[in-house]
Amino acid sequence: MELIEQVLDYSNVNKAYLHVTGNKGTKGVDGVTTNELADYMQCNWGRIRQEIAKGEYRPQAVLGVEIPKASGGKRMLGIPTVIDRLIQQSIHQVLYPMYDIEFSEYSYGFRIKRSAHQAIAQAQRYINEGHQYILDFDLKSFFDIVNQDYLMSLLNRKIKDKLLLKLIRRYLQSDMMLGGLAQQREQGMPQGSPLSPLLSNILLTELDKELEKRGLRFVRYADDFSIFVKSKKASLRVKRSITSFVENKLHLKINEGKSQICRPIQYFTLGYGFVPTYKTGEKGKYDLRVSPKSFERLKSKLKETTRKTLPLSLTQRLSKLEEITRGWINYYRFGKIVGKLKDLDTWVRNRLRYCIWKHWKKPNKRMRSFIRLGIPKGQAYAWSRSRMGGWAIAQSPIMKTTITIKRLQIKGYVSFLQQFFKVRKTMPEVQLKLSFI
């Protein structure tokens, strides 16, 4: 059976349909939503399937959408229509098993049963084995400058189905719709399409092979990669040669401004950093920590959720906080974070008390609330008419003894520490000795 026939096989397309509709996602240039995909396919799939089988199908333009990058700046996504997402997902399901078996052991991004945590753990292993000069590479605008001819030449090595190759080439060349104008694409591939992660791994596997051939220790997660060596001299030599390979062989660019040679204490990857351990007999070893930027982003989210002017009830606010807390702890549970979490919990509770104080608004309501919470009438009267600022009141003894942790918990409050120790109890064994406290 030709690959294009496998792509169009009913069970494969049905699996892709469930994947696309399950992921939801925004609509493309045709305005069709995932909820409307079934009706759209009922009317159009017979024709589209026939066009694909004959090599006549032409994908629609992708919708250009800018989103903020965690590191600052903007990232341009190319959102395909839902029908093109389904077709690309159908292709992905056929090609992924063919290529994944050839991918490097040290490639962790966009792969089944591979994770960012495994990449971080591997980096820690290299560092603790003494490879403490780290070349942290940044590929400049990777998805925008991929050489399509070179990528297609790599696909040609394994894929012999001309119709499938033709369809993939058309997806790479899909116009991008920006501000109502279609822009042609002669290089790059749209970031945000189901095929792009697989295609990027196929391309960057050439880099992995080169690093393995040279016997270098490395970790790659999608288009981010780091190399670990034992001396500064070696790091300078490797930086020159790998930069040359990336730019001349892979036709990509190294971002010199963001790439660096650093020591473990300066190295951050996937939201984690490294800090010397002070355990007996482990001199020169490093534990994991959470990067300052990750904490800043978390605090910014918490600040927005506990903003006093946000029109949410206390229960709704606590529900949103619990969602943020759970997601963050699940990802950063391997870092040295207990001390930071204690401070964070205190800060969040004070912000919640501030919201409650502002919600009470009038002095009489504040007095009645204090009395209801067990404060003597005279004391309640005095505090309700205090001239202290709201933030100072939130941190005062009167609010801490009335809006207690227990009362917040009854309403649904879950602290970072509670969530951390809950996750820690259910954690599977990790390959490396990771520090929790």
pLDDT grade for 433, boundaries at 50, 70 and 90 = very low
What pLDDT does residue 430 have? 46
Q: Which of 214, 246, 264 is the last residue of a domain?
A: 264
Residue 278 domain flag: no
Strands 176-178 and 62-68, by their bridges, are parallel
Express each pLDDT in 97-146 by its tens digit. Answer: 999 999 999 999 999 999 999 999 999 999 999 999 999 999 999 999 99
Does the residue 257 lie in any domain?
A: yes
Shared domain for 252 and 302, answered yes or no, is: no
One domain, residues 234 and 104? yes
Query: Considering 264, 279, 301, which residue would you say is the last residue of a domain?
Result: 264
Q: Are residues 361 and 322 in the same domain?
A: yes
Residues β-bridged to residue 262 = 134
- The answer to the question of residue 387 being in a domain is yes
For residue 377, the SS3 value is helix
pLDDT band at 425 (very low <50, low <70, confident <90, very high): confident
Confirm if 335 and 298 have CB atoms less than 8 A apart: no
Q: Is residue 105 part of a domain?
A: yes
Asked if 89 and 215 sit in the same domain, the reply is yes
Note whether 249 and 379 are same-domain residues: no
Mean pLDDT of 59-66: 95
Same domain (yes/no): 136, 178:
yes
With vertex at residue 123, the alpha carbon angle to CA 122 and CA 129, rounded to the nearest 5 degrees, is 90
Q: List, in order, residues 6 or more apart from 407 with CB less than 8 Å away.
A: 373
Domain around 386: 292-434
153 Cβ neighbours under 8 A, 6+ residues apart: none
Per the CB < 8 A criterion, the answer to whether 131 and 262 are in contact is no
Task: With respect to residue 283, please indicate whether it lies within any of the assigned structural domains.
Answer: no
pLDDT attached to residue 182:
86
pLDDT tens string 196-208: 999 999 999 999 9
The CATH code of the domain that includes 242 is 3.30.70.270
Cβ-count burial of 329 within 10 angstroms (0-12 exposed, 13-18 middle, 19+ buried)? buried
Residues 42 and 181 in one domain: yes
User: Where does the pLDDT of residue 428 fall: very low under 50, low under 70, confident under 90, or very high at 90 and above?
Assistant: low
Task: Report pLDDT for 427.
Answer: 66
DSSP state of 262: E
Distances (CA, A) of 431 to 118, 124, 219: 9, 11, 16
Q: What is the mean pLDDT of the chain?
A: 94
- The pLDDT of residue 436 is 36
Any domain includes 77: yes
- Do 312 and 395 belong to one domain? yes
Q: Please tell me whether residues 258 and 364 are part of one structural domain.
A: no
Q: Which of 342-352 are b and which e, b meaning 16 or more Cβ less than 10 Å from the residue's Cβ?
A: eebbeebbbbb
Is residue 308 assigned to a domain? yes
The predicted structure's pLDDT at residue 284: 87
Are residue 205 and residue 325 in the same domain, yes or no?
no
Q: How far is CA 89 from the centre of its chain?
A: 20
Note whether residue 274 is domain-resident. no
Predicted confidence at residue 71, as pLDDT, reads: 67
Q: What is the pLDDT of residue 152?
A: 98
Name the domain count of the chain: 2
Could you give the CA distance from residue 251 to residue 257 in angstroms, rounded to a whole number?
18
Residues 225, 339 within the same domain: no
- Over 50: is that where the pLDDT of 404 sits? yes
Q: Could you tell me the pTM of the whole model?
A: 0.90
Same domain? 424 vs 332: yes
Q: How far is CA 376 from CA 52, 373, 381, 382, 394, in A?
A: 78, 9, 9, 10, 19
The fraction of the chain above a pLDDT of 70, given in percent, is 97
